[in-house]
Structure 1
Amino acid sequence: MTSDALERLRRILPPSPASAEWAALDLQGVAEAEAALGVQLPPDYLDFLAVYGAGLLDDSLLIAAPATAPGHRYSTSVVEITGTFRRAAAKPYRAEILGDGDMYIHWGVDGGGDFYYLWRVEGESSAEWPVCVYDDELTVLPYGMVEFLARACTGGLPGELQCKFRGNGHEFLHWQDQYRRDVEQYGSGSYIPG
């Protein structure tokens, strides 16, 4: 299923220009992230990283790199945001909905910080982890990250989740391309790659 979902995604969502150059660097953080989190990351996430790397889908969903590898001064990491999410999940009003926050790995954030994109650690293999979306309510979806992204780009998500993703012409920007675009738009300093 992962390869089918990835192929569907590739047909409708071209990788960013920087993806080919920087995806390998994003993958270098996998061992560090897995050691820090004490789990193996889902294979479809690793497949996604190999093609796209970490970055931004439609200016609405930031897909985090596994860990902050050398040269990643401007990326967000799964290790970093999972730690932040777990601390926030321990608050009583969130714990009532989520249960044990340590059961979740945080892989993505929306631009407004309202939606948290997670994996719930369950089953014998990380390939079985469902994608969860938390926005003061928890929605558990019976598929992985790449299937989630493919559905987001084709109008196949349930109700209000689909509203976060515009209709046609989706764009993925690797975090390096996003950084370059921000520097060009806002003129905030000089771009220094890696």
Structure 2
Amino acid sequence: MEGEPLIVQLRDLMPPHEGAGDSIDWEEAERAWGVGFPQDYKEFVAQYGDGEVDAFLTFLVPEWTEGSVPSGAMAEETAEARRMWLEKPPAGYGSLATPPVVAWGVNARADLLCWVTGEQDPGLWPVAVWSRGALAWDVRDCGMLEYLVRLFRGEIDTMWADDGVRRFVHVREAQRLLAAGINPDTGEPNPYAGMFGPPPGRPQGE
């Protein structure tokens, strides 16, 4: 309901399953990435973490090497977002030598969901989405949680306008379901289970 904390509104729209969420050493993450992550994102990671919704939108979490160098999917998508920012920055932002974007999501259309990190206070970072189809940035003056609430209510993209409950699946849960012969995208038995050998990480004969 309106007026409730955004994380509560998001839970109503996209309930996290048991065992979802990730524990991140935010001090180390921020040291490696050179930015302070927004508080609403930290709340999201604690509740949901590394996973995807409706087999369409994948959420990213910070990773880094022992040398405190950003790594993993978030680093890869951030590098791509910065390349797009340099090639075609959004109106009013200009092309900076160091593009002020960090990616936190990517969807099945290969659109990149990012923050614009120009403000010193991460709580003021707007969301910017690079659209592969339009070849343009769409900057929204809101944080990640507000963006997701508005998105899942169909206020930003009409594909989400059916008022349904979104299905979030953490990567750990997806692996568990696959091993049990369940399609993680639907929660239904996977008709192809076992046809191509055991799931990754599951030994033969187990």
Whether the TM-score (by the shorter chain) exceeds 0.5 is yes
- Rounded to whole Å, the distance in 2 between the matches of 1:69 and 1:174 is 22
Whether the 8 Å contact between 2:101 and 2:117 is mirrored in structure 1 is yes
Whether the 8 Å contact between 1:61 and 1:109 is mirrored in structure 2 is yes
Deviation, 1:112, is 3.3
Q: Does 1:82 align with 2:78?
A: yes
User: Which of these residues, 187, 190, 194, is aligned with residue 201 of structure 2?
Assistant: 190
- Rounded to whole Å, the distance in 1 between the matches of 2:90 and 2:9 is 37
Kindly report which structure 2 residues correspond to 1:51-90, keeping only aligned pairs within 5 A, or say none. 51-67=47-63, 77-90=73-86
Q: Does 1:111 align with 2:94?
A: no
**Which sections of structure 2, spanning at least 5 residues, go unmatched?**
182-189
Whether the 8 Å contact between 1:132 and 1:140 is mirrored in structure 2 is yes
Structure 2 match to 1:156: 155
Whether the 8 Å contact between 1:15 and 1:52 is mirrored in structure 2 is yes
Kindly report which structure 2 residues correspond to 1:29-178, keeping only aligned pairs within 5 A, or say none. 30-67=26-63, 77-90=73-86, 92=87, 94-95=88-89, 99-100=95-96, 102-113=99-110, 115-135=111-131, 136-157=135-156, 161-163=157-159, 165=160, 167=162, 168-178=164-174
Q: Does 1:11 align with 2:12?
A: yes
Deviation, 1:3, is 7.1
Deviation, 1:154, is 1.7
Whether the 8 Å contact between 2:77 and 2:112 is mirrored in structure 1 is no
Deviation, 1:65, is 1.2
Deviation digits for residues 133-162 of structure 1 (CA, Å, limit 9, x no counterpart):
1111111111111111111222222xxx33
Which residue type is aligned with residue 54 of structure 1? Answer: D
Deviation, 1:122, is 2.3
Shift in alpha-carbon separation, 1:43–1:162, aligned structure 2, 3 A:
farther
Structure 2 match to 1:179: 175
Which residue type is aligned with residue 16 of structure 2? Answer: P
Structure with the higher fraction of residues in helix conformation: 1
Shift in alpha-carbon separation, 1:87–1:138, aligned structure 2, 3 A:
closer
Deviation, 1:89, is 4.1
Deviation, 1:132, is 0.8
TM-score by length of 1: 0.76
Which has the higher relative contact order, 1 or 2, with Cα contacts under 8 A spaced 6 or more apart? 1
Report runs of 4+ in structure 1 exceeding 6 Å deviation. none
Identical aligned pairs, as a percentage?
25
Larger Cα Rg: Structure 1 or Structure 2? 2
**Which sections of structure 1, spanning at least 5 residues, go unmatched?**
none
Shift in alpha-carbon separation, 1:57–1:68, aligned structure 2, 3 A:
farther
CA RMSD of aligned residues (A): 3.1
TM-score by length of 2: 0.72
Deviation digits for residues 59-118 of structure 1 (CA, Å, limit 9, x no counterpart):
111110111589xxxx9542342134324544x4x35877336210111000232x1101
Which residue type is aligned with residue 102 of structure 2? Answer: I
